[in-house]
Structure 1
Amino acid sequence: MIKSLIKPVTYLMSADFRLRFKVWRWRMMQTAVGRYILRVLYGNKNAAIGKDVFGMHFRSPIGLAAGIDRNGELIDAMAAAGFGFVEVGSVTPRRQGGSPHPYLIELKGDHALLHRAQTESAGVEQVIENIKRHKSRMVVGCNIVKGFTTPDDEAPRDYLRLFRPLYQYVDYFTVNICCNTTTKSYIPTGKAEIMAILQPLFEFRRGQNQYRPILLKISPDMSDEQIDMMTDIMLETPLDGIVAIAGSTGRYGLENSAKKMHKLGRTPGTINGHPLKQRALEVVRRIHTRSQGTYPIIGCGGISTYQDVKDMLNAGATLVQICTEFIYNGGKAIRTLNKALGEDSKEAPTQNK
């Protein structure tokens, strides 16, 4: 009896609820008045920080990673707040939910999150309807992933089922091969497995009038040899770039959350946030070096401060994404980073004289 009364109160205090409430608030800001308020509070007013990549103009090199706007409901609000691009998703072919609670656990001591959910998605048809409603001219990417119940050997079919209907509605695709959940993990690491997923997408794109860049999102838990193989796939095929990195099933980098992790026991899930920073830099640097800087890389993992952004760009990233920092600090996160980028761009010419 007491537990049944306490449970709803506990949920209202959880990171799960705060994230869902935050997403709801941002969805309410999709109106014209809401977007105006966001532009005033957080909007990017410095055109100098913009960047041209993939033949597209990004108003800021800082984007919102997949995992926040799962169903394409927040695009206009994020554009007004100053993001240079938004990656919608991850999107699955059919509606998918049923994550355990709590699916998101805060590890504040390490500015991190433990994410223990399978991908929640409204399904590709609903996502398309949502994306069609957006009015902003911001770059919109789509992170596509196989369905939770889809057998691993049928994964290529799922990716194509997503790629084809979404093709005319988004600007680029991220093929997410890091399907970690609380009950199983699917990360294809063999070249044949990866090509079985990518080749049908390349073939479909060849028959289209418009060109949509295709990127591959990789796991920090891959070995260096596997990362080299992913880079070689990029060099040898029409793949346009890599997103590095996804969350980690490892527990390295957690320096101040030992007590909480001990209390949680062997809780499955992926770590996201600051503990991933060093591994993300290592992976980006490795890809950049092996590809001789000839391909775009979107750096993602552990970016909280402007120094983190600079470190990632210096490691070889072309663009960067934030996620955990946005969950913790909302619109203030992108405002602070864009402001620092703008100040740096003003100082750069003086320093080069």
Structure 2
Amino acid sequence: MLYQLAKPLIFALEAERAHGLTIAGLKALPLGPAPKSDPVLATHVAGLDFVNPIGMAPGFDKNGEVPDALIRMGFGFAEVGTLTPLPQPGNPRPRIFRLVEDKAVINRLGFNNQGQEKAIPRLKRMRGRMGKGVLGINIGANKDSDDRIADYVTGAQNMAPLADYLTVNISSPNTPGLRALQDKGALAELLAAVMDALGKSGTPVFLKVAPDLEPADIDDIVAVATDRKIAALIISNTTITRPSLRSANQSETGGLSGAPLKELALQRLKDFRKASGGTIPLIGVGGIANAEDAYERICAGASLVQLYTAMIYEGPTIAAAMNCRLAKLLKADGFSSVSEAVGSSADK
């Protein structure tokens, strides 16, 4: 209720400034311990234990400044980044646009971040504050890099010692040419290089893909991911497509997230579930705004879910509220754990 009262003032600020103030506030405010999650929400994915399946997607905490605060807000895991080897300013501002009537956002940030070197000591300090929360680190390539695969190798080597899992992000629409790494040959080369660089470190590697894929792309990605022993696929990033929108900002270029992405992201999750036969864990992202949305993704095949845009519209208590309701939904359908519900509608 407090957030809804304050939201008009927050939304009166330019979107990126409001986001910066949010990060600053989370760094400054003394937060209590993470709320206890119902045991029915506990799950085990990619060798990791999650107290609940609700995660914060990357993009919110680009520089790894507040993953501990996110865990204390009720998230079971927090994925920071995207972090690139070298700092980069990203695209010119303004580059974040709220589509209030659509409960959506368009961004064309372009991997703006302070770089991995600056994030490393900060994340070392954070590790001890995470409690049972899981830390994911999302890595990407610098825009002007002459060798993007080498950038991912560097990112894997730099960040793996600090991460519970690493995410290889090749799906942002805001770095020219990046999505070409989803092509079968390029993807096989990239993942082979990353996995070789990690050696026997044991850090699980997740792959984040775009929703704007053709059926053949999905089959190829599943085949390569399986061959390279990728621990999970994150379905999906923002979309460059434009479903029916009402906001005056609908024509802005960049990746669309939020409510209008829901159906496309859900369909892609179902497509990957079918293509993989449930042999590789999937993480559902895109248009998830409440426990019902999260439960639908879980039943469609997602072992975990992530959100970001919904918190802009619903406020900082969203994870705790979703966990409470999700536990009730699971129990009402007779499930004793999240894992029991995964794929229950897809496999019928």
TM-score (norm. length: structure 2): 0.87
1:35 and 2:31 are equivalent in the alignment: yes
User: Is the Cα contact below 8 Å between 1:298 and 1:318 reproduced in 2?
Assistant: yes
User: Is the Cα contact below 8 Å between 2:82 and 2:113 reproduced in 1?
Assistant: yes
Q: CA 1:194/1:45 → structure 2, altered by over 3 Å: closer, same or farther?
A: closer
User: Is the Cα contact below 8 Å between 1:44 and 1:338 reproduced in 2?
Assistant: no
List aligned pairs for 1:29-178, cutoff 5 A.
29=29, 34-36=30-32, 39=34, 43-134=35-126, 135-137=129-131, 138-151=133-146, 154-178=147-171
Matched letter for residue 290 of structure 2? T
Return the alpha-carbon distance in structure 1 between the equivalents of residues 176 and 84 of structure 2.
17
Matched letter for residue 136 of structure 1? M
Q: CA 1:245/1:282 → structure 2, altered by over 3 Å: closer, same or farther?
A: same
After superposition, what is the alpha-carbon deviation per residue over 1:272-294, rounded to whole angstroms, capped at 9, x for unaligned? 11111111111111111121112
> 2:323 maps to what in 1?
338
Moved over 3 A (4+): 9-12, 345-352
Shift of 1:346: 4.1
Q: CA 1:166/1:89 → structure 2, altered by over 3 Å: closer, same or farther?
A: same
Matched letter for residue 229 of structure 1? D
Considering only CA atoms, is the larger Rg found in Structure 1 or Structure 2? 1
Pick one of 287, 298, 313 that aligns with 2:272: 287
Shift of 1:349: 4.1
Shift of 1:185: 4.3
The alignment partner of 1:215 has SS state of strand
User: Is the Cα contact below 8 Å between 1:180 and 1:186 reproduced in 2?
Assistant: yes
> 1:256 maps to what in 2?
246
Return the alpha-carbon distance in structure 2 between the equivalents of residues 339 and 118 of structure 1.
35
Shift of 1:123: 0.5
Return the alpha-carbon distance in structure 1 between the equivalents of residues 228 and 116 of structure 2.
27
The alignment partner of 1:232 has SS state of helix
Return the alpha-carbon distance in structure 1 between the equivalents of residues 227 and 156 of structure 2.
21
The alignment partner of 1:60 has SS state of coil
User: Is the Cα contact below 8 Å between 1:19 and 1:327 reproduced in 2?
Assistant: no
> 1:179 maps to what in 2?
172
> 2:235 maps to what in 1?
244
List aligned pairs for 1:296-335, cutoff 5 A.
296-335=281-320
Return the alpha-carbon distance in structure 1 between the equivalents of residues 286 and 79 of structure 2.
14
Q: CA 1:350/1:239 → structure 2, altered by over 3 Å: closer, same or farther?
A: closer
User: Is the Cα contact below 8 Å between 1:99 and 1:117 reproduced in 2?
Assistant: yes
The alignment partner of 2:31 has SS state of helix
Question: Number of residue pairs matched?
Answer: 325
1:213 and 2:208 are equivalent in the alignment: no
Return the alpha-carbon distance in structure 2 between the equivalents of residues 142 and 336 of structure 1.
25
Return the alpha-carbon distance in structure 2 between the equivalents of residues 271 and 192 of structure 1.
27
Return the alpha-carbon distance in structure 2 between the equivalents of residues 88 and 308 of structure 1.
23
After superposition, what is the alpha-carbon deviation per residue over 1:276-327, rounded to whole angstroms, capped at 9, x for unaligned? 1111111111111121112110110000021111111111111000010122
User: Is the Cα contact below 8 Å between 2:82 and 2:111 reproduced in 1?
Assistant: yes
Structure 1: where are the runs of 5+ without partners?
1-8
After superposition, what is the alpha-carbon deviation per residue over 1:116-157, rounded to whole angstroms, capped at 9, x for unaligned? 221111111111111101122311111111001114xx1110
Shift of 1:348: 4.2
> 2:16 maps to what in 1?
16
User: Is the Cα contact below 8 Å between 2:88 and 2:113 reproduced in 1?
Assistant: yes
> 2:197 maps to what in 1?
204
Q: CA 1:185/1:49 → structure 2, altered by over 3 Å: closer, same or farther?
A: same
1:231 and 2:222 are equivalent in the alignment: yes
Return the alpha-carbon distance in structure 1 between the equivalents of residues 104 and 334 of structure 2.
36
Shift of 1:201: 1.5
Matched letter for residue 337 of structure 1? M
Q: CA 1:185/1:330 → structure 2, altered by over 3 Å: closer, same or farther?
A: farther
Return the alpha-carbon distance in structure 2 between the equivalents of residues 322 and 329 of structure 1.
11
Shift of 1:11: 10
After superposition, what is the alpha-carbon deviation per residue over 1:224-266, rounded to whole angstroms, capped at 9, x for unaligned? 21122111112222112210110111112x3332x443xxx5x
| % same residue | 28
